[in-house]
Amino acid sequence: MIQLRCSTCQQLYPADTRAFRCNCGGTFELVGLPAFDRRAIDPAGPGLWRYRQFLPGNRHWAEVTLGEGWTPLVLTDLLGQAVHCKMEFLSPTGSFKDRGTAVTVAMLKELGIDAVVEDSSGNAAASLAAYGARAGIRVRLYVPAHASPAKLRQIAVYGAELVPVDGPRSQAALAAWQAAATTYYASHYFNPFNLAGLRTLAFEIVEQLGWRSPDHLILPVGHGTLLLGAYQGFVELRQAGVIEHLPRFFAVQALACAPVFAAWSRALDQVAEITPGTTVAEGIAIAAPVRGAALLAVLRASGGMVVTVDEDEIRWGQAALARQGLYVEPTSAVVAAAVRKLDRVIAPGDLTVVVLTGSGLKSERV
């Protein structure tokens, strides 16, 4: 039986709780998911639903799916490094968020929930708006008023209710938390069903590499849900005996907003809120990640680290990827800049995977 467990005080909650975090303030994790088993994969299951045996909400996938998951893994050259690019920007709404959203919304169907709120800088909002439309669930979204017009347009077109909130990203979050008192809060960073969906990134990468684990996994980190979800997936693969080692996790942050780096570089166990600067990597401009301690633990356990990139490097990374035919948004381009910085960490012949999280068609200009 699936339950929610507080990662701080270990208290258990039922799967249909309306609480979005523990009374003690801790974040939820999911317990009771079936163990990974290669024999339980359904090769005929579309997209990430080939792994539906390990996913919550799987009785409702057909009413919810927009074709998410099983994105291509393309081997290309980046500065003389052979790098596998996980093409998450080809997801149904143009970002990796669709993995988590599809699973969350499938679970909402199972729980009989027909209206939700959420806050997002853009991609998560667009994703939830789309899946809400698909599944017949009303969605109200609190978004920063300064978010990319292309993203706001995309959200509006799906028919979600849009509430622009002035001020920094955190103000939109606060508005959603207040609304969550009376409505289900389908938060992409609090909700553990979202993390359960993001595990499939690990399953896919390993399966697409012929059941090998990468040596290095490089991905953008704001709240770090992608990193945490993927890590959980790799741990399950190792527990199942499918892989022998985990990849080293490299979390890439924009220098202008790098709370995880600030904690990492001082060898802290917790991530403190910072005063954010401005960055084109708006999707990871998160001043206070809600699972900071867990992020630091993953980086430490996997032998990875935090890499920061400045605005020029992000622009350079976006152009470098485009010159390989890969048009991603600045938030995603941070990984290309990180590859350049990691040239002494990545040895020739290493198996390196970068996650290209969001589409360049969403960004206003290069």
Contact residues for a copy of itself (CB under 8 A)?
43, 46-47, 62, 65-67, 71-76, 87, 90-94, 130-134, 150, 153-154, 156-159, 208, 318-319, 322-327, 359-362, 365-366
To a copy of itself, the closest distance from the beta carbon of 271 in angstroms equals 32
Contact 221, 231 (CB under 8 A): no
Three-state SS string over 71-100 comes to: CCEEEEEECCEEEEEECHHHCCCCECHHHH
Q: Give 12-18 contacts, CB < 8 A, sequence gap 24+.
A: 15/56, 15/107, 15/111, 16/111, 18/184
Pick 92 or 144: Cβ nearer a copy of itself: 92
To a copy of itself, the closest distance from the beta carbon of 318 in angstroms equals 8
Copy the structure tokens of residue 155.
């959200």
To a copy of itself, the closest distance from the beta carbon of 62 in angstroms equals 7
To a copy of itself, the closest distance from the beta carbon of 98 in angstroms equals 10
To a copy of itself, the closest distance from the beta carbon of 91 in angstroms equals 7
Q: Which residues does residue 219 pair with via DSSP β-bridges, in sequence order? A: 251
Cα 96 to Cα 214: distance, rounded to the nearest angstrom? 19
Given 3-state DSSP classes, what are the helix, strand and coil percentages for the chain, each rounded to the nearest 5? 40, 20, 40
Q: For residues 195-218, b (16+ Cβ closer than 10 Å) or e, as one string? A: bbbbbbbbbbbbbbbeeebbbbbb
Pick 81 or 91: Cβ nearer a copy of itself: 91
To a copy of itself, the closest distance from the beta carbon of 51 in angstroms equals 15
Pick 93 or 194: Cβ nearer a copy of itself: 93
What is the β-pairing status of strands 3-6 and 12-14?
Answer: antiparallel
Pick 134 or 146: Cβ nearer a copy of itself: 134
Pick 66 or 242: Cβ nearer a copy of itself: 66
Q: How many CB atoms lie within 10 A of CB 338?
A: 25
User: What secondary structure letter does DSSP report for 211?
Assistant: S
Pick 59 or 245: Cβ nearer a copy of itself: 59
